[in-house]
Structure 1
Amino acid sequence: MSAEPIGSPFRVFVGYDSREDIAFRVCEASMRCRSSIALDVRPIAQADLRARGLYWRAKDPLASTEFTYTRFLTPYLAGYQGWALFCDCDFLWLADVAELLALADPTKAVMCVHHDHRPTEDTKMDGAVQTTYPRKNWSSLMLFNCGHPMARSLTPQVVNTQSGAYLHRMQWAADEAIGALPSTWNWLEGSMPKPVDGTPAAVHFTRGGPWFENWQDVDYGDLWLSECAALDAPGRT
């Protein structure tokens, strides 16, 4: 059974940070150019959500991005209907997102890669503090079953008032309702071995990517730079 009504674009919400506009643009472009299905890609921009009265949390000094908490509004923004994908902006897509959507399990509220990520660095990106906590990076890519009761529990009120631990550790969903995706869909640069054959389906530059100073020498950084250079190429969507 199709995860979305026939003819409906697959909705993708990408975390947007004003410091990383180019990362968002490459993320979107790399996904679109490899997708065999129609996509509706939307940035989750904190400033816009504040203006709409959907986000009013005070600034968290430990939040490394502007979408640290706003990501959990994805089911609400999707109207609590169908399937929708959230991913951080620091992703480079190297496979067809339709193959990810094909893994959607209607018995689950959310699906993600079940990382056991324990970074050794003290800082990441542009000097942000690196933190370690249970289920770290699970929420950096989430395939939401937006109509599921547990996904529907992510109301603006909950997203604005619950703790970071409650949200990022997915305490809003029962363990059995959190489906597992293959790790290739959220391959953490600097923390995971390269595939023996080919490339990951989606590279996540979680430590920092080539758009930051001193982060050019990273695995698959050359592919990101190629994607960036192609952004304004004729015929590129």
Structure 2
Amino acid sequence: MPLIAQRILRGLTPFVDPYMTPAQRLRPEKIILGVQSGHRPSNKPPVRIFLGSERKQFRAERTFIWSVEKYRDPSRIYEIHLLKGLKGYISGFWITGFTNYRFAIPYFSDYQGRAIYNDVDQVWLTDPAELFDRDMGGAGFLSINDQDSSVMLIDCKRMAGVWSRENVLRTTRKRIEARARAAGLWGPMEGKYNARDAEYVPGESACVHFTTLHTQPWRPFPDWFVYHRNPTGSLWFDLENEANREGFFAVSALRPSSAWPDAALALSSRPDGPELTRLLGALDDGLERVPKRRISGLLERIPDADLSWVLNRLFRTSEQLEIELHEPLLVRRNAQRRPLHYWIEQLRLASRMNPDTRWRLVRTVGLRRRVLSGGPLPDGPIVVLHDRDPATRAEAEAVASALAVHGGRTLQSIAHSGSGLFARLHARSTRHSEAVDEAAILVAAGAKAVRSARRIATRSERPPALVLVGRDAGPVPEH
């Protein structure tokens, strides 16, 4: 199905598939990057950036903000306004979750001063103030061409008559852009401020735009695209890895989101409220790393903006973390559900920043239960599950043997017995069942063996790491 059709379908059926960010805010969330310690405050106005974003782009959002933090003037204030989840907009037919929000920037700025607009799939490689402070030559907005609004410098006062909130609510994107062109308000901007994919030139490009959706390095929509390698992808990963090493969160325990006080108040009324209040407090002094922590009914109530730092705190203070999630099948105003891939990416981020923590997630949606796990592999053997074909068996056992030698684990090989009643009885035999249950790594080759391995990993209380070998391996499992 074409991307635009998928987007529209999801936008029109949020009660079934909660892909889009819930529209709960009247104004954008504002993140302030203040004057850094040891620097005299600048007398220049704050650099105001509006970032078009959505729930599934949380990794890109964090990396974008880190790029601003890395290259900004430390003596100046930078304001980053997150354009996502805003009420009152008919967004079901938008290609992204933030398509038309950008044209409401003059309204959100009270029709005063300047603002930069960026899409979330971009990073800065120079100080954004260079663009913010430049001469606009009397134009109402600057962009690389009069039909590309993915990076803009906007004079909010000049654009007031064309990009008012009323116009944005009632008009399509093309008409909004055409109205500005007809009024002669557009002005050109150098291409270095919106270097799209192959246009990136090391040492020259100021802002890089990963605009080709199926090559975005962080792969936010794996169920929509078959992703390909991006030649510039290492640039993005270098920035994300720097943010990880620095422990950077734009929203944190010291600077939580505007929704956090209400969430914290609700959590404090739970039986374990005092413990959670201490664990998730602004100061983490004196928090000990416990051998095992079990969390139930907590993360569902954490606002999207705070989820990353909350998970990081839980991982950092736990050697082993068990999480239970209970989410509704149908989404309602006060009963939200996040996509599975969103949870997986959040947990992977926390795991990358805390690689010594073992974690296990049990997620229940309606009657469906899913178990995922990660972190250091537990003790246990490597089990090879294969069919009767000698070639596939040899291939799987070669991979498993190399893993066993490298990790110092024992190795056991099990033949998959095909289909039918005999096969089901064979698969349930005590010897084979115990071997699979104890496996830390499950290597599978052959179509039927691969399907069995996937079922085992999905249903197991202690999911093994999967290594699927050969042409029948299929797509990479989400976990």
TM-score for both structures, normalised by structure 1: 0.76
Q: 2:237 aligns with which of 218, 225, 228?
A: 225
Q: 1:67 aligns with which of 95, 98, 101?
A: 98
Whole-Å separation in 1 of the counterparts to 2:183 and 2:209: 24
> Deviation at 1:104?
3.5
Structure number with higher helix proportion: 2
Whole-Å separation in 1 of the counterparts to 2:100 and 2:143: 17
> Deviation at 1:199?
4.5
Q: 1:198 aligns with which of 197, 203, 221?
A: 203
Structure 1's 31 and 170: CA in aligned 2 closer, same or farther, altered over 3 A? farther
Give the 3-state SS of the residue equivalent to 2:136 in structure 1. Answer: coil
- Alignment partner of 1:154 is 2:194: no
CA deviations on 1:20-73 (whole Å, 9 max, x unpaired) are 11111111110221011421011101x2x21xxxx331510xx22111111111
Aligned residues: 199
> Deviation at 1:89?
0.3
Partner of 1:11: 48
Give the 3-state SS of the residue equivalent to 2:234 in structure 1. Answer: helix
2:49 and 2:81 in contact (8 A); partners too: yes
Moved more, 77-86 or 155-164: 155-164
1:109 and 1:151 in contact (8 A); partners too: no
> Deviation at 1:152?
4.0
Structure 1: gaps (5+ residues): 116-134
Structure 1's 28 and 76: CA in aligned 2 closer, same or farther, altered over 3 A? same
Whole-Å separation in 2 of the counterparts to 1:30 and 1:216: 24
Partner of 1:130: none
Give the 3-state SS of the residue equivalent to 1:85 in structure 2. Answer: strand
1:12 and 1:39 in contact (8 A); partners too: yes
CA deviations on 1:158-179 (whole Å, 9 max, x unpaired) are 1011122112x34234464211
Structure 2: gaps (5+ residues): 1-41, 251-479
Structure 1's 106 and 227: CA in aligned 2 closer, same or farther, altered over 3 A? same
1:88 and 1:140 in contact (8 A); partners too: yes
Partner of 2:434: none
- The runs of at least 4 consecutive aligned structure 1 residues that moved more than 6 Å come to none
- Alignment partner of 1:79 is 2:101: no
Whole-Å separation in 1 of the counterparts to 2:136 and 2:208: 23
Given residue 17 of structure 1, which amino acid in structure 2 is its aligned partner? E
Give the 3-state SS of the residue equivalent to 1:224 in structure 2. Answer: helix
Partner of 1:187: 195
- Alignment partner of 1:210 is 2:222: no
Partner of 2:268: none
CA deviations on 1:194-225 (whole Å, 9 max, x unpaired) are 43x52411110111311115546213210100
2:63 and 2:123 in contact (8 A); partners too: yes
> Deviation at 1:146?
0.5
- Alignment partner of 1:35 is 2:44: no
Partner of 1:119: none
> Deviation at 1:96?
1.3
Given residue 68 of structure 1, which amino acid in structure 2 is its aligned partner? T
- Alignment partner of 1:177 is 2:185: yes
Q: 1:234 aligns with which of 242, 246, 261?
A: 246
- Equivalent residues in 2 for 1:2-151, closer than 5 Å: 6-36=43-73, 37-45=76-84, 47=85, 49-50=86-87, 55-60=88-93, 63-105=94-136, 107-114=138-145, 135=147, 138-148=148-158, 150-151=159-160
Which protein has the larger Cα radius of gyration, Structure 1 or Structure 2? Answer: 2
Give the 3-state SS of the residue equivalent to 1:231 in structure 2. Answer: helix
Give the 3-state SS of the residue equivalent to 1:19 in structure 2. Answer: helix
1:151 and 1:173 in contact (8 A); partners too: no
TM-score for both structures, normalised by structure 2: 0.39
Whole-Å separation in 1 of the counterparts to 2:135 and 2:231: 29
Whole-Å separation in 1 of the counterparts to 2:174 and 2:111: 23
Whole-Å separation in 1 of the counterparts to 2:227 and 2:130: 30
Tell me the C-alpha RMSD between the 2 structures: 2.3
> Deviation at 1:106?
5.4
Partner of 2:175: 166
Give the 3-state SS of the residue equivalent to 2:68 in structure 1. Answer: helix
> Deviation at 1:233?
2.7
CA deviations on 1:84-108 (whole Å, 9 max, x unpaired) are 1111000011111121123231511
> Deviation at 1:7?
4.2
Partner of 1:131: none
Give the 3-state SS of the residue equivalent to 1:171 in structure 2. Answer: helix
Whole-Å separation in 2 of the counterparts to 1:87 and 1:18: 16
Partner of 1:132: none
Identity of aligned residues (%): 25
